[in-house]
Amino acid sequence: MKRFLAMLLASVLAVGIIAFATNGEGRRTDGLYYEVTGIRPDAQIMTVDGEKVSAEEYLYWLSSQCDKLAAYYPGVDFNTQYTDSMTFGDFVKTDAQEMAKLYAIVRQWSEKYGVTLTDADREEIAQQRAQYVSYYGSEEAYQNQLRLLGISEESFNTINEAAYYYADLAKLFCNEDGAQRPSDETLIAFAADNGYCTAKTLYVRTSGLDEAALAEKRSQLEAAAEQLRAAEDKDAAYLELAASLGIETNGSALTFRASDVSDAAAEILSPLQSGEVSDIVEGSDVLYVFLMQEPDCTALAQYYFNQLVSDAQTNAKVKTSRAFDRIDTASFYTGLQEARSALATCRATAQTPLGKKKSAA
């Protein structure tokens, strides 16, 4: 079952989005989440800027985040303090809420910008489903795995669709012909305001080196930087120097936030213009030299879009129900594991290893 969980989590943008009921209290009484919590799956458990989030969606997020934490920390006690003010259970519950916020925003934006699934999207989703059925051996086995997860197929179908909505939204904002793509001037200003650079990179690794070896590596990189500064054809010189340093590259530039390299990188790189070569920048177990390039607006558009989504998530107005407030992560996950185990045992005793039902005798 762990492999199935991993496959499902990997198949979508992060997991999460389902259909919503108009009845705030919900009507459904099916599934492991209802069995464990008594909360109806289609009940409205929270809103994000007015967008409804059902109990099944949130509890799917919560169970997924619990599964991931338990995989990293086997036997984790969700009542243990994670920080002075937060237990592991509080952390996971908050993280699940953040994911629900994110995907509520994806739904809202898809509607706002008229994003719908293409025929190619639907065909790919159908192929993905067929792969799951093939992997588990039959339609019945696949449905059983969904029941063990605790989610209905309708909800899981919508989860898979979410990745496509997000990708199509990104195209609107990032592709050169995208209707929502900002102007190059806006993207360049965004890069300047947020410390993004476009550059080709020379580097040497320093992990495990003693002082003498480190000094030799630094000297080697300094010499490369001087040759690059002096070169008339810097792009050709870059390729030759990269090869001499054992760097595999096709000569393309990278766009990145300088502060992600090191705290000092932004100060060193921000004054430089296209064609200029930086001094040595120290990273974590790496020394860098950068050949600055003109801003790559295609790459910057993706960062810009990511920032828009992140800001919307941060600033979203969230209202939660009393049912949400009553959820205790430790009790929920313990109950869910017990319910999964009981369901798996029930399925196993009802079938032979070949999947045929046992006779009454």
* Adjacency order of strands within the sheet including 318-320: 51-54, 44-48, 318-320
Query: Residue-wise pLDDT tens for the chain (361 aa)?
Result: 444 444 444 443 333 333 333 346 789 999 999 999 999 999 999 999 999 999 999 999 999 999 999 999 999 999 999 999 999 999 999 999 999 999 899 999 999 999 999 999 999 999 999 999 999 999 999 999 999 999 999 988 887 888 899 999 999 999 999 999 999 999 999 999 999 999 999 999 999 999 999 999 999 999 999 999 999 999 999 999 999 999 999 999 999 999 999 888 989 999 999 999 999 999 889 999 999 999 999 999 999 999 999 999 999 999 999 999 999 999 999 999 999 999 988 876 655 443 444 333 3
Q: Which residue, among 192, 195, 224, 218, has the nearest Cα to 205 in the 3D structure?
A: 218
| Distance (Å, whole) CA 162 – CA 252 | 32
| Distance (Å, whole) CA 281 – CA 197 | 14
Interacting residues of 208 by C-beta distance below 8 A, sequence separation 6+: none
**Structure confidence at residue 351 (pLDDT):** 56
50 three-state secondary structure = coil
Helices (H), 195-328: 211-230, 234-244, 258-261, 263-269, 297-315, 322-326
Give bridge partners of residue 204 from the DSSP assignment: 287
The predicted-structure confidence for 34-67, as pLDDT tens digits, reads as follows 999 999 999 999 999 999 999 999 999 999 999 9
Give me Rg for the CA atoms of the chain.
26
**Structure confidence at residue 290 (pLDDT):** 97
* Inter-axis angle of helices 88-112 and 329-349, nearest 10: 80
Answer yes or no: are the C-beta atoms of 103 and 17 closer than 8 Å: yes
Interacting residues of 172 by C-beta distance below 8 A, sequence separation 6+: 113, 115, 178, 179, 180, 181
Q: Which residue, among 334, 253, 250, has the nearest Cα to 79 in the 3D structure?
A: 334
**Structure confidence at residue 24 (pLDDT):** 64
The predicted-structure confidence for 311-332, as pLDDT tens digits, reads as follows 999 999 999 999 999 999 999 9
